[in-house]
């Protein structure tokens, strides 16, 4: 079994949509910084959450907020212009909110 855990900041507003069968889906990207000596690197991690968690995330986060995620690292294969493409994302099953909820 594999598990991906990261803490990062949202690079843009999370997007909540619903499938044709009414299941909630939230997509977002987090920027995760890492350092090794004087070398600094930022990875941009695409994330997807489903159902109840998907509906909660947009209410408690916005662009720039820091979150902690846990989930499974997934690959999706598709064709684009006749070529096989692979997209990686984290299927989030737990999310912690480190910044204050947005004010409505």
- The domain of 9 spans 4-97
Residues in CB range of 24: below 8 A, 6 or more apart: 16, 17, 18, 50, 51, 52, 54, 55
Residue 102 lies in a domain: no
- 6-17: string of b/e by CB count within 10 Å (b at 16+)? bebbbeeebebe
* Rounded Cα distance, 21 and 96, in Å: 27
Q: What is the pLDDT of residue 97?
A: 95
The number of folded domains in the chain is: 1
CATH at 62: 2.40.50.140
For 64, the 3-state DSSP assignment is coil
For 16-56, the pLDDT digits (tens) are 999 999 999 999 999 999 988 899 999 999 999 999 999 99
Whether residue 104 lies inside any domain: the answer is: no
Check residue 101 and give its pLDDT. Answer: 62
* pLDDT on residue 53: 97
């Amino acid at each position: 079994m594999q598990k991906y855990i990261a803490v990062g900041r949202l690079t843009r507003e999370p997007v909540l949509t619903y499938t044709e069968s009414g299941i909630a889906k939230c997509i977002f990207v987090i920027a995760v910084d890492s350092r090794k000596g004087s070398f600094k690197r930022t990875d941009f991690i695409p994330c997807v959450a489903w159902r109840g968690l998907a509906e909660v995330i947009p209410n408690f986060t916005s662009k720039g907020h820091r979150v902690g995620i846990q989930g499974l690292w997934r690959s999706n294969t598709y064709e684009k212009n006749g070529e096989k493409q692979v997209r990686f994302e984290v299927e989030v099953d737990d999310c912690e909110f480190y910044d204050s909820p947005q004010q409505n």
